[in-house]
Amino acid sequence: DIQMTQSPSSVSASVGDRVTITCRASQGISSWLAWYQQKPGQAPKLLIYAASSLESGVPSRFSGSGSGTDFTLTINDLQADDFATYYCQQANIFPLTFGGGTKVDI
Amino acid sequence: QLQLQESGPGLVKPSETLSLTCTVSGGSISSSSYYWGWIRQPPGKGLEWIGSIYYNGNTYYSPSLKSRVTISLDTSKNQSSLKVNSVTAADTAVYYCARLWKATTKFDYWGQGTLVTVSS
């Protein structure tokens, strides 16, 4: 199985900040990576797919980059609505696997 | 607009079988463009992929759950079903169903999730 390691596990930030979250795969997955945002009591919401493609309706302050084993989710100009937990998911091959999550709080 | 809705018992006894249904509306579960997946999240923890099924019935399971899990489709009802046998307290979680787009393997639509507690 491909293991996904996210860092940091949590980050404190303020409105207007830039936040960067990293996800590392245990083996190469090309660009087959997705990012999700989850708020308490809600289902995850797709933000980014294919490592850098922005899902329809997602604000442009969210961006993704990377390929192979190392990936990054960047949130520019952090808004109050962005405080949540973020997960990466490798989409290269079954079994699918998620990272452990990164909580972004104030 | 596609909608997914999980349903099933919220309480299951240890050693029994957990059974959930995902009803899809606004789209066909028989489309060759998608898989239909199940993901769970224990309280306070991260997401765990359980398995996915393709419209032709091909299934893919998490190795850690494969011996206890069955996912199926009922195309006449536009539903996916999940069964987990021999449950323990470790199976207590919010269970989500989600659509997995085959071309990019992204989960683009999710149900709201349903909490299943395993307790006597």
Is A101 in Cβ contact with B107 (below 8 Å)? no
Cβ–Cβ contact B110 with A under 8 A = yes
pLDDT of residue B104: 84
Mutation test of the interface with chain B: which of A4, A94, A102, choosing the one with the most B Cβ atoms within 10 A?
A94
pLDDT of residue B35: 95
Q: Considering chain A, what is the average pLDDT of its residues?
A: 96
Is A45 in Cβ contact with B107 (below 8 Å)? no
Q: Which residues of chain B neighbour A50 with C-beta distances below 8 Å? A: 104, 106
For tokens 């470790």, what's the residue?
Answer: B90
pLDDT of residue A84: 97
> Distance (Å, rounded) from C-alpha A38 to C-alpha B41?
11
Instruction: For residue A44, say if its preceding peptide bond is cis, omega within 30 degrees of 0.
Output: no
pLDDT for B33-50, tens place per residue?
999 999 999 999 999 999
**CB-CB neighbours of A51 under 10 Å:** 23
Cβ-contact B59, B66 below 8 angstroms = no
Beta bridge partners of A23: A6, A71
- pLDDT confidence bin for A93, thresholds 50/70/90: confident
Mean pLDDT over residues B58-86, rounded? 97
Query: Quick one: how far is CA B28 from the chain centroid?
Result: 17
- pLDDT confidence bin for A92, thresholds 50/70/90: confident
* pLDDT above 90 (res A67): yes
Beta pairing, strands A19-25 & A4-7: antiparallel
Mean pLDDT over residues B51-57, rounded? 94
